Amino acid sequence: MIAVIAVASAAVGALIVLSTGSGGNNTAGPGTSVPGALAPSGHPATVDPDQALLRRLVVQQADVAPSQSVVLIPGGNLVVGQATLDLCNGTFPSESTRTARLQVAEADAQGNGVLSTEAVLYQSPAATAKGFDELKAAAAKCPSSPVAGSNGEPAVRTTFRSRPDGSWPQTPTVDRLAYDFVMTDNSGQTQHTVAVYLRRGRALLGLYFFTPEGAQPPVAGKTAIPDIVGLFAARLAALPAADVNRTVPASSLS
């Protein structure tokens, strides 16, 4: 999910205030913030036998500086009721084929979110390939007018810039889509985001950069977005082929 997450108050918790459809987590709007560490939901999170693989993919506390915090976003370990693909608030039938999901966010000392990583398993490699086709279609057909989110989120207008990854190195066995865009809500607040989607077999990894201008807070020593993407692509490439290339039964949670 791509979203701006803000803390309403310590008592009330987190609100999604600007979104393309749900949260994966402003140049003109308020700073992106994430809540403090959240306990896992009491609802069943996933049913995939390989769900433990997801923790190998997402950003870890050990990857970032001591002043940064990595936290589970609200609903970040759930599949049901949570979107993964929501670019331009498009329609993504492949969402129903997800079997496991884990999304965390990195925040600075002031609670401002700078990066979110979302690792997802699908039923089969064909399902992630379908998701990539849907992303391409959503970007190509994105209207110039605001589009409402599928789960009742406020409408936003998405304006795409040039694709950012033309000169980025490619990781063998990993497919990549990258988008640079600005979301504008009805009040005129804007969010500049770079969203990168990686896939290998039935595993998909979304990387959402909320302050993409200039150097990034270090992730495992990397401060340039192409290098950070390469780091996560290498993690995806290192997953066991037997786990990411097989097909698992349909989940009742999506």
Three-state DSSP class for residue 52: helix
Quick check: is 12 in a domain?
A: yes
Q: What is the pLDDT of residue 6?
A: 29
pLDDT band of 3, cuts 50, 70, 90: low
Please state the domain count of the chain. 1
* Cβ atoms of 209 and 193 closer than 8 Å: yes
Distance from chain centroid for Cα 204: 10
Quick check: is 73 in a domain?
A: yes
* Cβ atoms of 113 and 106 closer than 8 Å: yes
* Cβ atoms of 89 and 20 closer than 8 Å: yes
Q: What is the pLDDT of residue 152?
A: 74
Q: What is the spatial distance between Cα 227 and Cα 201, in angstroms, rounded to a whole number?
A: 22
Please determine, for residue 168, whether its predicted confidence score (pLDDT) is greater than 90: yes
- Relative to beta strand 98-107, strand 69-72 is antiparallel
The token pair at 166 is: 């033309």
Q: What is the pLDDT of residue 137?
A: 98
Please determine, for residue 157, whether its predicted confidence score (pLDDT) is greater than 60: yes
* Cβ atoms of 59 and 104 closer than 8 Å: yes
Q: What is the pLDDT of residue 42?
A: 44
Please compute the mean of the pLDDT values over residues 178-186 and round it to a whole number.
96
Summarize pLDDT for 114-149 with one digit per residue, the tens: 999 999 999 999 999 999 999 999 999 999 999 998
- The CATH number given to whatever domain includes residue 225 is 3.40.1000
Quick check: is 253 in a domain?
A: no
Q: What is the pLDDT of residue 143?
A: 96
Quick check: is 160 in a domain?
A: yes
Give the DSSP H/E element, type plus range, for residue 36: none
Quick check: is 72 in a domain?
A: yes
Please determine, for residue 23, whether its predicted confidence score (pLDDT) is greater than 90: no
Burial class from Cβ neighbours inside 10 Å (0-12, 13-18, 19+) for residue 187 reads: exposed
Quick check: is 100 in a domain?
A: yes
Nearest CA among 156, 160, 95 for reference residue 121: 95
Q: What is the pLDDT of residue 21?
A: 35
CA distances from 110 to 38, 59, 65, 113, 158 (A): 17, 19, 14, 9, 27
Please determine, for residue 30, whether its predicted confidence score (pLDDT) is greater than 60: no
Quick check: is 47 in a domain?
A: no
Please determine, for residue 163, whether its predicted confidence score (pLDDT) is greater than 60: yes
Percentage above 70 pLDDT, the chain: 81
How high does pLDDT run on average in the chain? 85
The dihedral through the CA atoms of 9, 15, 17, 18 has a sign that is: positive
Quick check: is 75 in a domain?
A: yes
Q: Domain range for residue 99?
A: 3-37+56-244
